[in-house]
Amino acid sequence: MSPDQNRPDPDSRLAADRNGYDPVTDTIYAQYDAEDGENTLILSLVGIVAELTGREETELTPLYNAVDPTLINAALKASRDSEVEITFTYENCCVTLTSVGELIVDPNFDHNYTDSR
């Protein structure tokens, strides 16, 4: 089965709170609550990446091979006074987590991209 067959329904629309699938950018936006704990964030992230790549969660590389989930969770929790954004690649997807509870997964990661900021 091709990964495209497992993609979210292209007729679905991004909710007003930026929660859902954006068929224009092929990106999934989700919200998480850092107070729910590290496992909630990890399970959400791995589930979304599995859905976008058309694979089972158990077929993915363990997340800790890409990043330290405990460190990321601690950094996001500690930064409640100012917004922090952490971006990394996982399974060829660009993953962005923010301290305000946004989880953004873009499967169209450009490996040649360099941030000029």
Residue percentage of the chain with pLDDT more than 90: 27
Does residue 116 lie in a domain region? no
Range of the domain at 90: 10-106
Residue 96 forms part of a structural domain: yes
Q: Is residue 3 assigned to a domain?
A: no
The pair phi, psi for residue 105, each rounded to 5°, is: -125, 120
Please count the structural domains in the chain.
1
**114 part of a folded domain:** no
Kindly tell me the burial class for residue 95, based on how many C-beta atoms sit within 10 Å of its own C-beta (0-12, 13-18, 19 or more).
buried
Instruction: Please say if the pLDDT value at position 36 is more than 80.
Output: no
CB of 78 within 8 A of CB of 31? no
How big is the CA angle at 69 (ends 95 and 5), to the nearest 5 degrees? 40
In a domain, 113, yes or no: no
How many residues comprise the chain?
117
Average pLDDT over the chain reads 76
User: Which among 6-20, 50-64, 71-85 has the top mean pLDDT?
Assistant: 50-64
Q: Higher-confidence residue: 78 or 6? A: 78
